[in-house]
């Protein structure tokens, strides 16, 4: 038979078990945390009608999307979880209770040029709250509070959720008589971090702004300080534009409620340079940066929008949502060596090794350890002792549980700690308790910051 | 703006939240049970190189596969989880510890004709154990024992895992001098349940068998009874063919070990008519039927194979595995009305309803209930009391927790049981304890048989 060389496509993450187990731990934290805030799990198809996915159109999306025919159908793979959500809510709006809160942790597909750290298939972990006609500002604080909980759950503390409000920006540009051009200006201002204020000013002048307008913009986006200081500076602009004033009220509510949710000030910051590229955000916007890795940009972004599903329904569906690029985040954390090395990464807590004879007693022992809540692999191969231990080592299992004739006769088993080498002979119940206590002591977060 | 009518493609399951929550509960049981037996989670890409997926080729697969070009790449969506596993193991064999045990619960894609209860995108929930050159018979008992645990975990008891061994069949046909034709004969015999023994006999004669051969085959596959009785009948054939004798030894070991794993005889049966269509099974084979719904066929099938990845590597990789067609199983159980109606299906255990004023105290209360392990939604909309309660009802949340000025002043909250209407005013800790106790009392399996 001809052999085809096995390979995995570039741009597609495929992990070995030890890393996959850590990745799963992160998705479990996401599911648990999102679930604890009353979000419903959602699982839309990966394939949709191409016409529906591309209702909005747009250059990059059209180019990157995986689109194909099957029979007469024009199909495509989802490139995000927001468009499928819009379709879902529009399709099922009579059956859903609003506000509708859903999370979805699923793979999306973008046929980008493959490069290091860029993926063509990657997980997004999204939460959104959708209102029917209206949606209270409280939700705009709850969303980043949940993200704070998730990141802390991962073990991260050196991160910052940066918050702004589009109404403040829109109101400010209206004050300058630049409403029509605010989109272009924000795109320019967005480059501030990369190219610096002088170059931003030069571009603004090229775009036809007066020197005074450019200076006012640069002064505005240079507002820095604690959240209280930034809010105080913004108060100086009030009374000149209603949208601005409304935006500031919203921002103050978000900042105050974030504190009530228990998010410390060091983990969220008002940042007037945040605008988000997408046109449809209308209120609070979020970006999240890892403080020690600003170069990777935002790892979790989103905001408030007024019209989720305008392409699919006349119904006004405002919402607020945020998305974690989970595959990329995991890739970066791993690259930076931040995966906690102390965590066991074997698929089992214990490997039961029968030392010969009929398998019955070993099966019974393994089942008994499982009933105590342990993950237990039963080793059934007829190999020499040395080979059995080599397997346990390669697997990285923290405990081997040996069962020979003597142990069986005594109703006991020998528990060997594969790290320390320590071995004790105890009853199955004692073994389970010992293993659980030892594992609990070394348990920790999946991410360990330096 | 032109509205595009939202729709979901036919053959793609998309659930409303109440059902999705039950589906997730089933996947969680699968993850937990598979994990408790020391299987590593695996997550291969949904897209693979088409050449790799189609290495084996074959009519139905080629027709059903979703295959498409992107740039110069010839791509396809996986149609099962076994081929990606074969690729994975061949690609990473130097990094894996053998036996390699993995589970994967992922969507696969088959562009079949859409019809009721048939899906083009569906979950498979697979476990496999792969050996390096050899693999002990013990694994062939463990696999169905795990499936037993999974099904019991779902709440099912009226199911039967039917077990056979290909060596017994191959050995038996060798005794009749029909080795070369055993594949065709097994395909005919496989129709026994559908067309009955007379028609099977007629087809066998048409295919050129002698009347005596046909009768021997019908006598053989008519062997029925308890597992002990079937084994006793099979003992009568021993001593005539080595393969047969080996197969019988394996079958006896599997039956005996299944008992040791705690699988009651009513849930597994030796069934000599089971052969499995696929050519590559070489030992134990499994099918699983719901006793009250034989019409839907096997909901979980698999077996022992000797050569997992022959298309991708010279390495001999025997294994044993089984696959649950989860989407179809869920669909059938739902259709039959077997989803336990007593289980709450809301995404939250409690809905915190602030009765006016600043949101701070309600946020604090919700966080406090969450820290006790509850899933809590905070309702932030400014609506009338009646509308708030209507929302709680539509959501199906078991408890509403009301927080008005009086409660805040007293450091308490009012907990309303949405089913009984009973309401108590207690501290947040008491509220959490009360809600948890009530929910624990109504908790049960996700499936409830009639």
Answer whether A131's CB lies under 8 Å from A319's CB: yes
Cβ distance of A45 and B14 shorter than 8 Å: yes
Q: Whose structure tokens read 């209270």?
A: A136
Assigned domain for A408 exists = yes
Residue range of the domain that includes A410 = 350-442
Subunit contact A111:B310, Cβ cutoff 8 A: no
Closest CA to A347 of A375, A305, A383: A375
Has residue A136 been placed in a domain? no
CA distance B127 to B146: 9
Residues from chain A that touch B363, judged by Cβ atoms under 8 A, are: 257, 260-261
pLDDT value at residue A277:
66
Residue A31 placed within a domain: no
Phi, psi of B360 (to 5 degrees): -50, -55
CATH number for the domain including A361? 3.40.50.800
Q: pLDDT digit of tens for each residue in chain B (450 aa)? A: 689 999 999 999 999 999 999 999 999 999 999 999 999 999 999 999 999 999 987 677 888 999 999 988 999 999 999 999 999 999 999 999 999 999 999 999 999 887 887 899 999 999 999 999 999 999 999 999 999 999 999 999 999 999 999 999 999 999 999 998 888 888 888 888 889 999 999 999 999 999 999 999 999 999 999 999 999 999 999 999 999 999 999 999 999 999 999 999 999 999 998 887 667 899 999 999 999 988 888 999 999 999 999 999 999 999 999 999 999 999 999 999 999 999 999 999 999 999 988 999 999 999 999 999 999 999 999 999 999 999 999 999 999 999 999 999 999 999 999 999 999 999 999 999 999 999 999 999 999 997
B20, A35: Cβ pair inside 8 Å?
A: no
Is A372 an 8 Å CB contact of chain B?
A: no
Reported confidence tier of residue A183, pLDDT bands at 50, 70, 90 = confident
Contact between B401 and B350 (Cβ < 8 Å): yes
Instruction: Answer yes or no: is B390 within a domain.
Output: yes
In chain B, which residues have their Cβ closer than 8 Å to the Cβ of A44?
8, 14
pLDDT at A176: 95
Residues in B 49-68 with any Cβ partner in A closer than 8 A:
49, 51-52, 55, 66-68
Instruction: Write out chain A residues lying below 8 Å of B71, CB-based.
Output: 111
Nearest CB among A38, A134, A375 relative to B38 is that of A375
| Cβ contacts of B227 within 8 Å, gap of 6 or more | B255, B265, B268, B269, B270
Interface residue B378 vs chain A (CB under 8 A): yes
Residues A211-259: pLDDT tens digits?
999 999 999 999 999 999 999 999 999 999 999 999 999 999 999 999 9
Report pLDDT for B417: 98
**Is residue B218 included in any domain, yes or no?**
no
Chain A residue with Cα closest to B394: A97
Q: Do B9 and A45 count as a contact with CB atoms less than 8 A apart?
A: yes
Longest dimension (CA), chain A: 92
Interface of B with A in 321-350 (CB under 8 A): 346-348
A423 φ, ψ (degrees, to nearest 5): -135, 135
| Contact with chain A for residue B280, Cβ under 8 A | no
Q: Is residue B396 part of a domain?
A: yes
Which residues fall within 8 angstroms of residue B133, CB to CB, at 6 or more apart? Answer: B316, B318
Phi/psi at B215 (5° precision): -65, -40
| B416 is a domain residue | yes
* Domain-located, residue A409: yes
- A9/B95 touch (CB, cutoff 8 Å), yes or no: no
**Which residues are within 8 A (CB) of A418 and not within 5 positions of it... i.e. 6 or more apart?**
A392, A393, A397, A398, A399, A400
Q: How many domains does chain A have?
A: 1
DSSP annotation of A368: H
DSSP string, B189-205: HTTHHHHHHHHHHHHHH
CB of A298 less than 8 A from some CB of B: no
User: Which chain B residue is nearest to residue A44, measuring alpha carbons?
Assistant: B14
Residue A118 pLDDT grade (very low, low, confident, very high; cuts 50, 70, 90): confident
- Nearest Cα of chain B lies from the Cα of A10 at a distance, in angstroms, of 10
Residues B78 and B119 sit within 8 Å (Cβ to Cβ): no
Q: Across the interface, do B91 and A8 touch by the CB < 8 Å criterion?
A: yes
Whether A249 has its CB under 8 Å from any CB of chain B: the answer is: no
CA nearest to A149 within chain B: B367
Cα(B209)–Cα(B195) distance, integer angstroms: 19
Answer whether B142 touches A (CB < 8 Å).
Answer: yes
- Rounded Cα–Cα distance for residues A360 and B258 (Å): 10
Q: What is the largest CA-CA distance in chain B?
A: 92
Alpha helix segments (H runs only) across A56-159:
59-64, 82-92, 138-154
Best of B122, B258, B347 to substitute, by most chain A Cβ atoms within 10 angstroms, is B347
Q: b/e map of B50-69 (b: 16 or more CB within 10 Å)?
A: bebbbbeeeeebeebbbbbe
């Amino acid at each position: 038979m001809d052999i085809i060389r096995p390979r995995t496509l570039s741009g597609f993450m495929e992990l070995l078990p030890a890393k996959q187990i850590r990745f799963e731990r992160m998705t479990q934290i996401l599911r648990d945390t999102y679930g604890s805030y009353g979000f419903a799990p959602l699982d839309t198809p990966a394939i949709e009608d191409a016409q529906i996915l591309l209702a909005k159109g747009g250059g990059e999306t059209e180019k990157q999307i995986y689109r194909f025919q099957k029979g007469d159908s024009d199909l495509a793979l989802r490139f995000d979880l927001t468009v499928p959500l819009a379709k879902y809510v529009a399709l099922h709006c009579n059956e859903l209770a609003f506000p509708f809160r859903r999370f979805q942790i699923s793979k999306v597909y973008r046929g980008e040029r493959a490069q290091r750290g860029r993926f063509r298939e990657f997980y997004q972990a999204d939460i959104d709250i959708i209102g029917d006609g209206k949606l209270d500002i409280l939700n705009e604080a709850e969303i980043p509070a949940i993200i704070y909980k998730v990141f802390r759950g991962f073990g991260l503390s050196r991160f910052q959720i940066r918050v702004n409000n589009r109404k403040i920006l829109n109101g400010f540009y209206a004050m300058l008589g630049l409403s029509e051009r605010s989109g272009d200006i924000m795109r320019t201002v967005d480059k501030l971090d990369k190219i610096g204020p002088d170059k931003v000013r030069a571009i603004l002048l090229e775009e036809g702004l007066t020197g005074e307008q450019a200076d006012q913009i640069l002064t505005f986006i240079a507002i820095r300080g604690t959240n209280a200081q930034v809010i105080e500076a913004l108060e100086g602009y009030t009374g000149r534009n209603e949208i601005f004033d409304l935006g500031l009220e919203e921002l103050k509510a978000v900042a105050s409620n974030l504190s009530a949710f228990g998010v410390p000030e060091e983990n969220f910051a008002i940042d007037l340079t945040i605008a988000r590229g997408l046109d449809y955000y209308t209120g609070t916007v979020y970006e999240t940066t890892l403080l020690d890795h600003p170069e990777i940009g935002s790892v979790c972004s989103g905001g408030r929008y007024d019209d989720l599903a305008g392409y699919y329904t006349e119904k006004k569906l405002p919402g607020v949502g945020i998305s974690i690029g989970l595959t990329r985040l995991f890739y970066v954390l791993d690259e930076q060596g931040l995966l906690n090395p102390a965590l066991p990464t074997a698929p089992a807590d214990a490997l039961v090794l029968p030392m010969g004879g009929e398998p019955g007693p070993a099966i019974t022992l393994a089942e008994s350890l499982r009933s105590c809540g342990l993950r237990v692999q039963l080793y059934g191969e007829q190999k020499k002792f040395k080979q059995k231990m080599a397997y346990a080592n390669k697997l990285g299992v923290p405990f081997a549980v040996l069962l020979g004739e003597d142990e069986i006769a005594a109703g006991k088993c020998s528990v060997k700690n594969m790290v320390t080498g320590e071995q004790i002979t105890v009853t199955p119940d004692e073994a389970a308790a010992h293993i659980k206590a030892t594992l609990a002591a070394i348990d920790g977060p999946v991410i360990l910051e330096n």
